[in-house]
Amino acid sequence: MLHTFSLACHPMFYDPQRLPWTSNLRQNWRTIQEEMHSLDRGRFVPWALDKLYQGKWQQFVLFAPGYEFKENQALAPKTTSLVREIPGVTLATFARLTSGTHVHPHIGYTHVVLRAHLGLKVPDGECWLRVGEETRKWQEGEFLVFDDMVEHEVTNQSNTDRIVLMLDFLRPFKLRTSFLGHFRQRLVLKRQLPLPWKQLEDFHQREIL
C-alpha cells in the first residue's frame, strides 16, 4: 500500500534552481520542443492506468525503470542525449494531455524519486497541476518539480494539447548519505517496476536493462 509524505514537512513544489542539471535542459528546451513537434502523434500511446483519467493522457517514452525504447530514442536523439546527463534519471517521456482531459487525484508508485515537468506546449486557459494544496500552471521552457507521492491532479480544459517532457530522477542526498541512499533507491526500483511500463510491452519492442 502506498502512503504519502506528511504535507507539513514537504514542499508541494521544489525550486528547479537547486538542481544544477535543469539549467542545461532549459538552455536547450527549443531543441527538445522541435523534436517533440516532429514526432508522429500516432506513436503516443495511452497511459496504461486508464481509470486515473478522463480523456486522453498519452506518452512517448524514451526510457522507464527497467526499459529502453530504442525506436523512440532514435526519433528523439538530442532529447535522449540531454536527459541521459541527468544524475539518477529513471524515466523520460513526452507526456501529452489532450483538450478536455482530467487526471483524477492520485499518488505515484515510489518515494525514491522526484518528478519534473519541462513545459513544451502550454495552452492558455484552464490548464494546471495541483500538488497537495498548491496549484500551478506550466510555462514553456520552464520546470515544475514535485514529489508525486503527494496527492496531485492535472486538468487541461483548454482547446489544444498540453505537452511536457516528464522526468523521474532519484532524490538528491547530502554527500554523507548519498552512497547508502542511492543504493537503497536502486534496490527499490529493481524490486518494483511500475505496472504502466510493463503494460507498454503491448505497444513497443523493448530491451530489459
Identify any residues that bridge with 144 across adjacent strands, giving them in sequence order.
Answer: 117
5 or 128, greater pLDDT:
128
C-alpha cell at 106: 492520485
Write the pLDDT tens digit of every residue in 115-163.
999 999 999 999 999 999 999 999 999 999 999 889 999 999 999 999 9
Task: Say what the pTM is.
Answer: 0.82
Task: Give the separation between CA 76 and CA 182, rounded to whole angstroms.
Answer: 28
What mean pLDDT comes out for the span 86-98? 94
Q: What is residue 173's predicted lDDT score, i.e. its pLDDT?
A: 59
Evaluate whether 58 touches 45 at the Cβ level (below 8 Å): yes
Listed residue (125, 121, 169) closest to 145, CA to CA = 169
Fold of 13-202: Jelly Rolls (2.60.120)
Evaluate whether 11 touches 118 at the Cβ level (below 8 Å): no
Q: How far is CA 54 from CA 29, 74, 103, 186, 195, in A?
A: 29, 31, 7, 33, 19
Write the pLDDT tens digit of every residue in 22-77.
999 999 999 999 999 999 988 999 987 778 889 999 999 999 888 899 999 999 99
Task: Annotate 91-128 with DSSP letters as a single string.
Answer: EEEEEEE-TTEEEEEE--S-SSEEEEEEEEE--SSSEE
Q: What is residue 138's predicted lDDT score, i.e. its pLDDT?
A: 98
Q: What is residue 26's predicted lDDT score, i.e. its pLDDT?
A: 98
Evaluate whether 158 touches 127 at the Cβ level (below 8 Å): yes
